[in-house]
Structure 1
Amino acid sequence: MRQTFTALTLLALLGLSPAVAQTTVTGKPAPDAATSEKSGGQQAVTRPNTDRPDANNPGTTGTASSAKLEEGANSFTEAQIRKRLEDAGYKEAKDLKKDDKGIWRGTAMMNGKSVNVGVDFKGNVAVQ
């Protein structure tokens, strides 16, 4: 009887241990909508980078080149990548392929010029 009680107590303590575990956040979050480069990529899954070009303002064409693409397991489909590129102002995305580092790469048109583009697992878009 005593062994059963000891075993049950041990199981109960093991069952509670995940409840007391804590999650640690590293890096500086970007509550002020700082660019992903300045924030270290924090919140990029819910808030893709803000340093992408504005299709209506040709002067911002080169700004996406400052976005840092991060390696990682990428679960975006090709259709989702095309949508991200369109939302960032790129047109006619072609030859989209996911590389061995999880980054989708291809070419697209921006302001009449063909550029090499990439999209990481967080949805960040950058000129390559």
Structure 2
Amino acid sequence: MKKNLLLLLTAAAVLTGPVSAQNPPATDRPNNNAVNSSGQNNSDKPVSGANSFTEGQAKSRIEEAGYTNVTSVKKDDNGVWRAKASKGGTSTDVSLDFQGNVNASK
């Protein structure tokens, strides 16, 4: 009986551990780069990753960034949406990554 009680208490102590060993809370925006904040880009180039935007959402996001005549919208092998678009009278290639960053090709 004493052996079982000792085993139980030891297991409980191991499972609960010291309070200081707990994980710190998640960082809130804007330091959380997985979340695009305040309509600003987190990166000046497209970030590869699983992209959940649909083609229509990708086109809308690019238009919201000030581009017009958005055509040829296609997702590449890195999960980045690529398109042709115009801004300020100039036609350019643009991208939209999984974080919502819209960038013109350089």
TM-score (norm 2): 0.66
| RMSD over aligned Cα atoms | 3.5
Q: Determine if contact 1:107/1:115 at 8 Å carries over to the other structure.
A: yes
Q: Determine if contact 2:84/2:94 at 8 Å carries over to the other structure.
A: yes
Distance 1:44 1:6, change over 3 A: same
Percentage of matched positions with identical amino acids: 37
Distance in 1 between the 2:44 and 2:68 partners? 19
Distance in 1 between the 2:24 and 2:93 partners? 41
Aligned residue pairs, count: 100
TM-score (norm 1): 0.57
Q: Determine if contact 2:79/2:98 at 8 Å carries over to the other structure.
A: yes
1:49 equivalent to 2:40? Answer yes
Larger Rg: 2
Which residue identity does 2:38 align to in structure 1? R
Report the alpha carbon displacement of residue 6 of structure 1 after superposing the two structures with TM: 2.3
Q: Determine if contact 2:41/2:102 at 8 Å carries over to the other structure.
A: no
Structure with the higher helix share, 1 or 2: 1
* Larger RCO, structure (CA 8 Å, separation 6 or more): 2
Distance in 2 between the 1:5 and 1:46 partners? 52
Structure with the higher strand share, 1 or 2: 2
Instruction: Indicate the SS of the match to 1:89.
Output: coil
Residues 74-123 of structure 1, C-alpha deviation per residue, up to 9 Å, x if partnerless?
Answer: 12222221121111111121121111112110111223332111011111
Distance in 1 between the 2:98 and 2:92 partners? 20
Gaps of 5+ in 1: 30-40, 52-65
1:78 equivalent to 2:69? Answer no
Gaps of 5+ in 2: none
Distance in 2 between the 1:80 and 1:11 partners? 50
Residues 53-94 of structure 1, C-alpha deviation per residue, up to 9 Å, x if partnerless?
Answer: xxxxxxxxxxxxx92221122122222211211111111211
